[in-house]
Each structure stands twice: as C-alpha cells, then as structure tokens.
Chain A
Amino acid sequence: MTDCPLQTRRTLLKQLALMGVMSTFPHTTLSQLISTPVTRPIPSSGQRLPVIGMGTHITFNVGNDTQARLKRTEVLRTFFEMGGQIVDSSPMYGSSEAVLGFCIKRLGKNASPLFSATKVWTSDTEEGIEQIDDSHRRWGLNRFNLNQVHNLVNWRSHLDTLLQLKADGRLQYVGITTSHGRRHRELEKIMLTQPVDFVQLSYHINNREVENRLLPLALDKGIAVIANRPFSKGELFTQYQRNPLPDWTREFDCSNWAQFFLKFVVSHPAITCAIPATSRIDHMKENMGACYGRLPDQVTRQRMINYVQSL
C-alpha cells in the first residue's frame, strides 16, 4: 500500500468511500449508480461542481478546542473522500474559518479538489478589504474560488471590491448571499443589474418561495445558485424523520431523510449545489449520498411535496 502512487491511493480511498455510499442504497444495483458524483455547471464558466457541498455555520465554530478541531478534520476528510468540493464559510461564523484552515492544513493533499467559498461581512468598505485578507490567512489560501457579499451588507461597495479582485485574477467568482427568505426583492434587483456569478439563498422542501422568481431568474441570467439551510437548521428532521420513507423514494436512489431533503433541493434545475452543515461523520455520509444516483424528476418532486404535506 505504501508503494501505491498517491493518485491511485486516493482513487482507492474514494472507491472505498463509494462502497460506503453504496451500502446506503441496499436496493440499488451498481449499474444504477453513477460512480461519480452528480455535478452541475457554473453557468458563467462551465466548470462543474458536485451538487452537495458543505456549510460551516455553527458546526465548525469550535474555537481553539483541539479535540473538536480534529473531529472536524475527519468530517472534512469524509466530505472530500466522498467527492465533495465546495466548502462555504464566513467571517460571521466565529472561528469556523480558522477551524477550516486547521482542517485543510492537516488534510494536506487530501483536501482536494477544494472549491473555497467565503464571504465578506461588514458595513465598512475598508474593513471589508481587511476581512478578505484575514479570510485568506485563516483558510491558509492565496486565492478563493468564490467570495460573496454576506446577507447583502454594504453590497454596493463590497461587490465593487470583489469584482476588482476578480478582474485582477485574485478571485475566480463573485457572489452575493441572503438567507431565511430575507431581502429577496433587493436580491432580485442585484441579479438583474450586477455581474454576479453566484447567488446563495435559502431553499428547502417547506420553503419554496424562491421557485417563483429568483430561481427562474437565475436560470435566465446564467447565475449559479447555492442553496443554504436545506434542512432548515435541522427542523425538517424534527418534523418528519419519525415517519417512514415511502418505497417510491427508491426510484431516485434515496435511502434516508437527509437524501430526501437534499435531492429535492438539488433536483431543481436552477440549483448548482446545496450546502448542508454537519459536525458528524455519519451525517456527512448521509448528506453526500445525495450526490449519487438518480435525482427526482418534476412529477416525483411534486409527489415529495405532497407526501411531506400529508404528514
């Protein structure tokens, strides 16, 4: 094993992880499973991203606790082993960025391919520039793939900053975020008038308001969409997980409620990826399972909505 080239060893690890994924689909044959994660293109570039990423709000805010940081490292390792790429954080999330940096450093080459996504969150423009530098330092990265204006705070100035960074080649993509269904009208105006590559918004099976205008607009304008809070901060599990999953969920290779909720989200054609957050390896495996197999079609999506509404 120690003589295996790194690439072969990494492939072997991913295949072993895939076997773990397959064990969550007891009724699905190998031929039915795609051996690579489901991906969606970023419209502005064509670069493809796996449809399940990882958020770090609360889950990675563990401060200087080494024991907790090491546990998060294993969660992140599982994420990458199962084909994950996009990791989303923010200076607003306490120590999450610093903890991510710790994990990424420990994982070394195993933390790849990484699609790094952070945010700028301050009402002061100059402070925003400093914050971006601080984020680089905390993550241990020279360049982010994506930087986003967090919750539209001082968006005009920060967008200018981010677009300049992109023009200088120091940033790959520019985005803007909102959450909890707030400020959608303003977000819509920004999507119509500003050259953003990504928007991030809240979307889950019980909160589909964005399907009315924002998601069609994103499709129309060629803007990638990241869905945050796909579990509504765990409330969907509290509401539904004591109920059994119906048999017809096997039709889209779903074997647990996490995959049910996530596959609903990412099956919308406008969604590029969802970013559930977790601090547990077992939950990470469940989440990443949604990145494999079939996705529900429009008819099945409606069936899923009807089912949860009936509970």
Chain B
Amino acid sequence: MEELLSYRLSDLLLFSKQSYFRQFELYNHWLSLAKWLAYLYGVLFLFSLINQQRYFSRYLFLISALYWLICCYGFLWQFYASINWMAEYFIVLFIIQALLILWSFFYLQPSSRQKSQPLFFTTGILLWVITLIVQPVVEFVSGRSLSQLSIFALTPDSLSIMSVAFMLILRIPALYFMPAGLWLLFSSLTYLAMGSMEVLFPAFTFVLYLITIFLQLSSFRKVSGR
C-alpha cells in the first residue's frame, strides 16, 4: 500500500503530451471530410431543440451510437492504443456504450423518461455548446495546433461530453452512460498527469455526471419508498 501511495499520477503516464496530441492529428487526418458532418450534426441537434422537434432529436441521439463506434475504431484502435495499452479496455467500453444507446432508444419505456426539467435541459444545452465551440478554442489556446483539435462528437472527450448532454436533455438514466463517465474520469486523470488545463472539460462533465447519478438514485429511492 505504501508503495502504491508513493506513485504520483505523472509516474503512470507512458507517453508525452506531444505524442498524445499527435494521435489526434493523425486521427483528424484519417477522418478527412467526415469531421464536417459531425459539426453539421451538432448544429442540427441544437436546431431541433430550438424548434422543439422531439422526434428528430431522438433520432440524432440514435446516430450518436454510430459515433461511438467510429471513435472506437478510428481513434482508440488505430491510434491511441499504439501508445497506451489501456486504450484496449476502452475499446470494449465504447462498444458497450454504443449498444447501451441503442438499447435505451429502442427499449426504454417512454414513461421512464420524465419530462425534461429546465435545469437539466439548460445544463445539457450548455454542455453541448461547450464541446461544440468552447472546447476547441481552449485547446488551441492551451497549445494544440489546429490540426490537433478535438473534433466534435468524434473524439472521446467531446463524444462523452455530448453523451452526458443527451442524458440531461432527454432525461435518460445515467447508468446508460457509465462508459462515457468512465472515459471522462480517465481523461481527467490523463490531463491532470500532464498538468494540462484541458482537464477542465472532462473533469467538469464527470462531476455533473456523478451529481446526476446521485440525484437519479435519490429520486428512485423516494419513488420506491426506501
């Protein structure tokens, strides 16, 4: 135990910041024009919410399962796993996340989706806008080159933040987004180990995710009379 406690977070990091961001650059190049479709997707979702097109929003949520699979194969499998063996575990988790999204879309009973509360709804929108617009700006300011920026919905952080936004806006039980939550924790620890201010986004979202789990569990207990 004493030996475990002697480790600093940075001792567990196996790659440099430069190598990590380079994987994003290579991935973004691999994505080619597909990245612009993801931005269009991001804008379309906001549009559907503004115009209260609920069914359209739900189908955009369904499409997010595809993004998990693209990110899993494109980023984790092709690039990130080459510098971090732990990425292999997240490949499995990302596939599970895609399946959970499909499951929640097709099998979650409508009655279990409570009417969206303004606070959750607004927080969800805020997260969406943060990952669509704010995050790339902060990444650029903190030192990444343009070619290394996180692409909305196609890089793990953005995808996880986007999924938590879905969770809040569509009021889907938080347990369906456990893989996203785990990635947010893992990413936060990675950026912390690097001493990077980019820790802000995954860490903030992870805290929101935890709060949501707590609130949903409390609500469940009240309803079930425990």
With known contacts A94-B84, A94-B85, A183-B3, A68–B13 Cβ distance under 8 A: no
Contacts of B111 in A (CB 8 A): none
Smallest CB separation, A300 vs chain B (Å): 32
CB atoms of B26 and A65 under 8 A apart: yes
Q: Which stretch in A55-63, A100-108, A125-133 binds the other chain?
A: A55-63
| Chain B interface, number of residues (Cβ within 8 angstroms) | 18
Bound state CA distance, A61 and B83, in angstroms? 6
In the complex, are the beta carbons of B82 and A95 less than 8 A apart?
A: yes
Among the stretches B14-22, B46-54, B184-192, the one at the interface with A is B14-22
Residue A109 lies at the interface, judged by CB distance under 8 Å to chain B: no
B23: chain A residues at CB < 8 Å are: 63, 65
Residues on the B chain within 8 Å of A307, using CB: none
Given A94-B84, A180-B11: A61 and B19 interface contact (C-beta under 8 Å)? yes
* 0/1 string, B1-30, CB within 8 A of A gives 1: 001001100110111100100110010000
Over the window 67-85 of chain B, the binary record of Cβ atoms lying under 8 Å from chain A Cβ atoms (1 yes, 0 no) is: 0000000000001001111
B16 near A59 with CB under 8 A, answer yes
A64 on the interface (CB 8 Å rule)? yes
| CB interface residues, B 61-113, toward A, < 8 Å | 79, 82-85
Nearest to A179 among chain B residues (CB) is B11
A residues adjacent to B (C-beta < 8 A): 57-59, 61-65, 68, 92-95, 180, 182-183, 233, 279
11 A-B pairs with C-beta separation under 8 A? A57-B14, A58-B14, A59-B16, A61-B15, A63-B82, A65-B19, A65-B26, A68-B22, A94-B15, A183-B3, A233-B10
B22 pairs with A62, CB closer than 8 A: yes
Contacts A63-B83, A64-B82 given; indicate if A94 touches B16 (C-beta within 8 A): no
Alpha-carbon distance between A281 and B34 when the two chains are bound, in angstroms: 37
Which A-chain residue is minimally distant from B84 (CB atoms)? A94
List the A side residues contacting B26 at CB < 8 Å. Answer: 65
List 14 additional contacts besides A62-B83, A93-B14, A182-B6; criterion CB under 8 Å.
A58-B14, A58-B16, A58-B19, A61-B15, A62-B19, A65-B23, A65-B26, A68-B22, A94-B14, A94-B82, A94-B83, A94-B84, A94-B85, A95-B82
